[in-house]
């Protein structure tokens, strides 16, 4: 690291990389908050979102914002259907069984996408823009737009949780399902909503990953370890935690790439998971375990 | 392409697609195809398999493999190696022991090839591969391994010589972790140093990551005139986008398997323009090269499917030459139909016709002259350098 | 065909060993280990390196590989033994990926993505390939039998009873004065030792190890085997392993029978059917095909 500018550039890169992890991590934590199991299938939902967005954008010629909305919807519906059909029946057996089921589910979803689309790489129909430079620090407009999209979606979710009756009901179920039930909140309805939103956000995030790279059936799988790291660092079940955790993991991986070796970025994600779970299982920012 | 794909798919499932002629109740000859259809090699395997099936279809239309009992039809059984040596071994077992294949072809990942190779030589089944690891042909394979991919030393030597001739002096090496990343680096550093240049940086990155901005920053800081992108399709596609965004205006060179027609579909032209690729190639004035251009509509067939085209053709012609389709016969006759002074043929139809007529043949394929040394490595191949322009590759030079 | 069946039985035996290893920690102590592929890799690389580089005799190499996997397991368990089941799942899954990264990148030790070839096998070269298959068949299934017997004794020993008590209710066991952490670490390490043994045998059977061979898919297969067989049941673990091989190999022939599909679609169907089988088994057979009779509560 020759000077402060290089360090700043690494930080900027990390924030950009982290911002695309943000939505899948929020999705994961949103589902965890209500249903109390880690859903590995967010990788599959992210891939589904990426391909839904591709169909909308390339095959149907929709502009990117509309394609993003479509990615959210399709992934959300797919997530809801998958949850109801595959994971919900496993809930009585405990969170570990559901977690293992979700590993199988993500393999299933990946292969459904492979069956339908093949393995070929695909790119969205968008121009690639040159970086902007601020005093030597380069930032890409597309990545800024992605970060903005992620923040806007996260913000919309916060608003939903904070200011609507539905949001308050969701938080109530997350805090104490029994009490919420007594108060007349239908926990099943809330669970379905959480899964729809969580899977939808994962899908939106998957398309953001795709906008920054290109997509194939392994798109979600490639980011899943980092997404889990983000969710755990932020505190499983904590939505603001996931947002901050994503940035921490993004920056951490970039720093590790520079200091350690680019071949060992994923090790950072693992170490982050290990350290946080051991020392502070409620996450760096979460109050609740 | 779609039409061939559908018919070829039927072949792959073990249904006989026997074109043109009737076969006189001859036992079919079975070839095993073992490309990666899932996992990291997924972007390559399906096209590699289609190429094998297309050649077999052509050979069947030309009468199959001639033997004393008449023409024997060929069938292809395809198994997915899942880009995983464990799955590859199980698939190879099935191909060898259940389907009794006479040859296995189209293995891609070096790990799969190395895992499968002992099964092949122990069971006397030739293995045709596109894997790049130099160690593969050094296995004690008793002549059963044929590799159509030039070893990495030869490839990188050729690429570095070419770069030097273009005036490159400061070359940055960005490599995915692979069996030949390190050896490529050593070859390139030595050659550049000898010519007064240098490798300005060497970064091995993690292939499965989706962001490589900090790697590109290192490249930018190094003030290099050239970057060698030593990776595969998914990661090189991301790197190309990143290089364009960063405004890198130096030379970009990559292996042709890391940037092909798919790259143009995934990236806008302004990003790919100027990208240089290189690959083993048949000579420009050969029939094989002209055929390649006409058959694939330009020079846009990817290097792996060019090689599996040759795998199938070599196995068929060797069996035809031997008049016998056992693995041993194929192994022993591959060099007889590739080296030597025979009539030059560049496809199975012409090759089969010449062999039936009793003429010696010298097969020149889509990936080069296909002359094998005693270890099973190809030699004497030319390399074709192409540049991407407006969504197509234009031939720059053949060396 | 005989050779194919023999080879698949060897694979089934190796998977059975891994399933028994997974069962020891999971079925008995309730500790899930989704990093199984990583411990198999430790055993495989350990034995491969010691026999190839240092010329150790095979039995010693296999023992060392087993021991290395046990040490790695104990080390990880010391750190994470107190974590909740689903947290443990996340950590162990990540651990296996780290092992794979190290195997890929520490070329000086592991020869990187090239892998290590030319690993000796018992009597390899001295007998025909088919006889070699049979030798390994005996060796692997002999090991399965041995591990089975040892685990059975363990399960009915005081140690096993404590583990089951721990799984059912940690606090009660702790109140009963049992050092919970030590018990859990030992159970976990025993499980990873068995995985390491399977890895070492795998290395000497195939003659080759490479990082790609230890992908998460392997762990999914073994979890599937154990789920099919029933967590906590050893007979179930072995039966499940055989079932997984039947499923993996059977889908080859089944998927091929569907006409009109491209090969990549067949491949996708095969992987999808493995995933679907696991989901269905989790749903309908939460106690597994052969449930443990002494258990009151289904694991996990």
| pLDDT tens profile C145-159 | 999 999 889 888 888
Percent of chain A with pLDDT over 90: 71
Are residues B129 and B185 located together in one domain of the fold?
Answer: no
> Is B269 a domain residue?
yes
**Residue A32 in tokens:** 């965890």
Structural domains of chain B, count: 2
Work out the angle at residue B115's Cα, subtended by the Cα atoms of residues B110 and B121, and round it to the nearest 5 degrees. Answer: 110
Q: Tell me the shortest Cα–Cα distance from B107 to chain A, in angstroms.
A: 17
Residue of B nearest to A255 (CA): B214
Percent of chain A with pLDDT over 70: 98
- Using the beta-carbon criterion (under 8 Å), do C275 and A270 form an inter-chain contact? no
> Is B31 a domain residue?
yes
> Is B78 a domain residue?
yes
Are A137 and B277 contacting, i.e. CB atoms less than 8 angstroms apart?
no
pLDDT in tens, C64-117: 999 999 999 999 999 998 888 888 988 999 999 999 999 999 999 999 999 999
> In 3-state terms, what secondary structure has residue B224?
coil
Q: Which of A168-172, B395-399, C228-232 has the lowest mean pLDDT?
A: C228-232
Are C119 and C209 contacting, i.e. CB atoms less than 8 angstroms apart?
yes
Q: Which chain A residues are within 8 Å of B244, Cβ to Cβ?
A: 128, 130
pLDDT in tens, A164-211: 998 888 888 888 878 877 777 888 899 999 999 999 999 999 999 999
- Using the beta-carbon criterion (under 8 Å), do C3 and B93 form an inter-chain contact? yes
A105 touches chain B (CB under 8 A): no
Q: Which chain B residues are within 8 Å of C112, Cβ to Cβ?
A: 177, 179, 182
* Nearest by CB: C267 against B5, B80, B109: B80
pLDDT in tens, C29-56: 888 899 999 999 999 999 999 999 999 9
> Is B16 a domain residue?
yes
Q: What is the CATH number of the domain that holds B160?
A: 3.40.50.2300
Are B158 and B188 contacting, i.e. CB atoms less than 8 angstroms apart?
no
Contacting chains of B (3 CB pairs or more, <8 Å) are A, C
Are residues B136 and B39 located together in one domain of the fold?
Answer: yes
C297 touches chain A (CB under 8 A): no
Q: Tell me the shortest Cα–Cα distance from C261 to chain A, in angstroms.
A: 9
> Is B60 a domain residue?
yes
Integer CA distances (angstroms), A67 to A5, A55, A155, C36, in order = 36, 8, 19, 40
Are residues B269 and B307 located together in one domain of the fold?
Answer: no
Residue (of B192, B248, B256) closest to B221 by Cα position: B248
> In 3-state terms, what secondary structure has residue B202?
strand
- Using the beta-carbon criterion (under 8 Å), do A262 and B214 form an inter-chain contact? yes
Q: How do strand B392-398 and strand B343-345 relate by DSSP bridges?
A: unpaired
Average model confidence (pLDDT) across chain C: 88
**Residue B279 in tokens:** 């690959």
CA–CA dist C178, C164 (Å, integer)? 12
Interface test with B, best of A51, A213, A215, A269 (most B CBs within 10 A): A213
Are B229 and B244 contacting, i.e. CB atoms less than 8 angstroms apart?
no
C23 touches chain B (CB under 8 A): no
pLDDT value of residue A287: 55
Residue of B nearest to C97 (CA): B208
pLDDT in tens, B125-143: 999 999 988 899 999 999 9
B78 touches chain C (CB under 8 A): yes
- Using the beta-carbon criterion (under 8 Å), do C85 and A274 form an inter-chain contact? no
* Nearest by CB: B214 against A142, A214, A254: A254
- Using the beta-carbon criterion (under 8 Å), do B267 and A131 form an inter-chain contact? no
pLDDT of B2 > 50? The answer is no
> Is B190 a domain residue?
yes
- Those residues whose C-beta lies under 8 Å from the C-beta of residue A258, and which sit 6 or more positions away, are A1, A10, B214, B218
Are B302 and B149 contacting, i.e. CB atoms less than 8 angstroms apart?
no
pLDDT in tens, B215-225: 999 999 999 99
Are residues B84 and B186 located together in one domain of the fold?
Answer: no
* Nearest by CB: C90 against A93, A119, A232: A232
Are residues B121 and B206 located together in one domain of the fold?
Answer: no
- Those residues whose C-beta lies under 8 Å from the C-beta of residue C142, and which sit 6 or more positions away, are none
- Using the beta-carbon criterion (under 8 Å), do A262 and B215 form an inter-chain contact? yes
Are B398 and B283 contacting, i.e. CB atoms less than 8 angstroms apart?
yes
**Mind listing the domains of chain A with CATH numbers?**
4-119+144-279 (1.10.3470)
**Residue B51 in tokens:** 């190429």
Confidence of residue B45 (pLDDT cuts 50, 70, 90): very high
Q: Tell me the shortest Cα–Cα distance from A179 to chain B, in angstroms.
A: 43
- Using the beta-carbon criterion (under 8 Å), do C208 and B97 form an inter-chain contact? no
- Using the beta-carbon criterion (under 8 Å), do B43 and A216 form an inter-chain contact? yes
**Residue C41 in tokens:** 């890799």
* Nearest by CB: B110 against C114, C259, C267: C114
Q: Which chain A residues are within 8 Å of B238, Cβ to Cβ?
A: 213-214
pLDDT of B285 > 80? The answer is no
Give me the domain span that covers residue B79: 2-150+290-335
* Nearest by CB: B211 against A17, A121, A219: A17
Are residues B20 and B86 located together in one domain of the fold?
Answer: yes
* Nearest by CB: A122 against B203, B246, B265: B265
Residue of C nearest to B85 (CA): C213
Helix residue ranges per DSSP H, A36-58: 42-54
pLDDT of B318 > 50? The answer is yes
Q: Tell me the shortest Cα–Cα distance from C90 to chain B, in angstroms.
A: 19
Confidence of residue B23 (pLDDT cuts 50, 70, 90): low
Are residues B144 and B13 located together in one domain of the fold?
Answer: yes
**Residue B356 in tokens:** 């039936």
Are residues B171 and B256 located together in one domain of the fold?
Answer: yes
Q: Tell me the shortest Cα–Cα distance from A123 to chain B, in angstroms.
A: 4
pLDDT in tens, A151-161: 999 999 999 99
Q: Tell me the shortest Cα–Cα distance from A132 to chain C, in angstroms.
A: 34
Interface test with C, best of B10, B88, B93 (most C CBs within 10 A): B93
Are residues B180 and B250 located together in one domain of the fold?
Answer: yes
pLDDT of B66 > 80? The answer is yes
Average pLDDT for B183-212: 92
- Using the beta-carbon criterion (under 8 Å), do A216 and B234 form an inter-chain contact? yes
pLDDT in tens, B255-264: 999 998 889 9
- Using the beta-carbon criterion (under 8 Å), do A214 and B244 form an inter-chain contact? no
B177 touches chain C (CB under 8 A): yes
Q: Tell me the shortest Cα–Cα distance from A162 to chain B, in angstroms.
A: 33
Contacting chains of C (3 CB pairs or more, <8 Å) are A, B
Average pLDDT for B308-312: 95
CA–CA dist B302, B40 (Å, integer)? 17
Confidence of residue A55 (pLDDT cuts 50, 70, 90): very high
Are residues B256 and B392 located together in one domain of the fold?
Answer: yes
Are residues B60 and B122 located together in one domain of the fold?
Answer: yes
pLDDT of B11 > 50? The answer is no
> Is B86 a domain residue?
yes
Interface test with C, best of A39, A41, A277 (most C CBs within 10 A): A277
pLDDT of B17 > 50? The answer is no
pLDDT value of residue A2: 56
Q: How far is C-alpha B136 from the chain's CA centre?
A: 15
- Using the beta-carbon criterion (under 8 Å), do B214 and A121 form an inter-chain contact? no
Confidence of residue A111 (pLDDT cuts 50, 70, 90): very high
Are C286 and C228 contacting, i.e. CB atoms less than 8 angstroms apart?
no
Residue (of A38, B122, B5) closest to C264 by Cα position: B5
pLDDT value of residue B6: 41
> Is B310 a domain residue?
yes
Are residues B9 and B104 located together in one domain of the fold?
Answer: yes
Average model confidence (pLDDT) across chain A: 92
């Amino acid at each position: 690291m020759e000077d402060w500018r290089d360090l700043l550039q690494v930080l900027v890169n990390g924030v950009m990389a982290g911002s695309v992890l943000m939505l899948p991590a929020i999705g994961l934590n949103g589902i965890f908050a209500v249903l109390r199991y880690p859903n590995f299938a967010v990788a599959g939902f992210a891939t589904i979102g990426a391909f839904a967005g591709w169909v909308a954008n390339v095959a149907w010629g929709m502009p990117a914002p509309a394609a993003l909305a479509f990615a959210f919807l399709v992934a959300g519906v797919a997530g809801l259907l998958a949850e109801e059909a595959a994971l919900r029946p496993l809930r009585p057996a405990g969170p570990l069984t559901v977690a293992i089921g979700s590993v199988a589910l993500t393999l299933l979803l990946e292969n459904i996408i492979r069956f339908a689309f093949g393995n070929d790489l695909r790119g969205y129909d968008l121009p690639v823009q040159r970086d902007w430079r601020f005093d030597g620090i380069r930032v890409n407009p597309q990545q800024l737009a992605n970060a903005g999209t992620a923040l806007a979606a996260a913000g919309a979710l916060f608003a939903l949780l904070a200011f609507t009756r539905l949001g308050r009901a969701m938080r109530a179920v997350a805090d104490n399902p029994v009490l919420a039930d007594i108060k007349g909140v239908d926990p099943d309805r809330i669970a379905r909503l959480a899964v729809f939103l969580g899977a939808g956000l994962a899908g939106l995030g998957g398309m953001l990953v795709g906008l920054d790279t290109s997509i194939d059936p392994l798109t979600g799988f490639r980011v899943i370890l980092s997404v889990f790291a983000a969710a755990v660092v932020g505190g499983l079940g904590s939505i603001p935690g996931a947002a901050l955790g994503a940035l921490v993991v993004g920056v951490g991986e970039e720093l590790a790439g520079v200091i350690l070796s680019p071949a060992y970025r994923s090790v950072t994600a693992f170490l982050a998971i290990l350290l946080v779970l051991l020392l502070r299982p409620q996450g760096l920012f979460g109050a609740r375990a | 392409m779609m039409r061939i794909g559908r018919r070829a798919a039927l072949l792959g499932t073990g249904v006989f697609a026997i074109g043109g002629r009737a076969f006189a109740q001859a036992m079919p000859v079975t070839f095993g195809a073992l490309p990666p259809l899932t996992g990291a090699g997924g972007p390559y395997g399906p096209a590699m398999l289609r190429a094998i099936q297309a050649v077999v279809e052509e050979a069947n239309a030309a009468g199959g493999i001639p033997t004393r009992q008449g023409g024997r039809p060929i069938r292809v059984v395809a198994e997915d190696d899942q880009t995983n040596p464990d799955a590859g071994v199980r698939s190879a077992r099935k191909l060898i022991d259940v389907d009794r294949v006479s040859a296995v072809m189209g293995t891609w990942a070096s790990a799969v090839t190395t895992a499968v190779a002992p099964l092949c030589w122990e069971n006397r089944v030739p293995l045709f591969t596109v894997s790049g690891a130099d160690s593969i042909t050094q296995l004690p394979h008793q002549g059963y391994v044929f590799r159509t991919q030039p070893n990495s030393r030869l490839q990188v030597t050729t690429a570095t010589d070419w770069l030097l001739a273009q005036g490159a002096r400061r070359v940055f090496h960005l490599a995915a972790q692979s069996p030949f990343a390190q050896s490529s680096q050593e070859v390139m550093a030595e050659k550049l140093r000898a010519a007064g240049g240098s490798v300005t940086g060497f970064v091995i990155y993690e292939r499965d990551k989706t962001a490589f901005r900090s790697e590109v920053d290192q490249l930018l800081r190094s003030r290099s005139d050239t970057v060698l992108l030593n990776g595969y399709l998914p990661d090189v596609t991301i790197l190309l986008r990143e290089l364009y965004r960063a405004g890198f205006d130096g030379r970009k060179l990559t292996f042709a398997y890391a940037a092909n027609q798919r790259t143009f579909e995934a990236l806008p032209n302004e990003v790919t323009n100027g990208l240089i690729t290189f690959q083993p190639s048949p000579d420009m004035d050969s029939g094989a090269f002209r055929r390649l251009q006409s058959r694939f509509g330009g020079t846009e067939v990817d290097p792996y499917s060019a090689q599996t085209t040759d795998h199938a053709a070599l196995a068929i012609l060797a069996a035809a030459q031997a008049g016998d389709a056992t693995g041993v016969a194929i192994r022993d006759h591959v060099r007889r139909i590739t080296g030597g002074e025979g009539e030059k043929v560049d496809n199975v139809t012409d090759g089969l016709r010449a062999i039936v007529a009793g003429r010696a043949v010298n097969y020149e394929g889509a990936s080069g002259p296909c002359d094998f040394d005693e270890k099973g490595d190809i030699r004497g191949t030319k390399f074709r350098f192409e540049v991407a322009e407006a969504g197509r590759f234009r031939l720059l030079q053949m060396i | 065909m005989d050779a194919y069946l023999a080879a698949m039985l060897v694979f089934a035996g190796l998977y059975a060993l891994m399933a028994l290893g997974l069962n020891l920690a999971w079925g008995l102590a309730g500790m899930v280990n989704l990093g199984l592929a990583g411990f198999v890799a430790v055993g495989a690389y350990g034995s491969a390196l010691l026999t190839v580089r240092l010329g150790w005799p095979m039995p010693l190499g296999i023992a060392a590989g087993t021991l290395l996997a046990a040490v790695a397991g104990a080390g990880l368990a010391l750190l994470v033994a107190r974590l909740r089941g689903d947290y443990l799942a996340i950590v162990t899954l990540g651990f296996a990926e780290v092992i794979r990264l190290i195997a890929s990148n520490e070329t000086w030790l592991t020869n990187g993505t090239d892998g290590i070839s030319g690993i000796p096998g018992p009597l390899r070269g001295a007998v025909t390939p088919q006889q070699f298959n049979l030798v390994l068949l005996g060796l692997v299934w002999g090991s399965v039998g041995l591990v089975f017997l040892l685990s059975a004794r363990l399960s009915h020993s005081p140690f096993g009873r404590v583990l089951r008590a721990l799984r059912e209710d940690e606090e009660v066991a702790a109140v009963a004065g049992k050092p919970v952490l030590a018990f859990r670490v030992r159970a976990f390490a025993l499980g990873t030792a068995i995985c390491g043994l399977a890895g070492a045998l795998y290395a000497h059977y195939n003659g080759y190890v490479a990082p790609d061979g230890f992908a998460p898919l392997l762990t999914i297969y073994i979890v599937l085997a154990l789920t099919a067989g029933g967590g906590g049941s050893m007979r179930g673990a072995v039966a499940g392993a055989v079932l997984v091989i039947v499923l993996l190999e059977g889908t080859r022939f089944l998927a091929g029978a569907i006409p009109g599909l491209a090969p990549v679609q067949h491949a996708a169907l095969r992987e999808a059917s493995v995933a679907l089988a696991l989901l269905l088994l989790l749903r309908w057979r939460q106690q597994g095909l052969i449930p443990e009779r002494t258990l009151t509560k289904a694991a996990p």
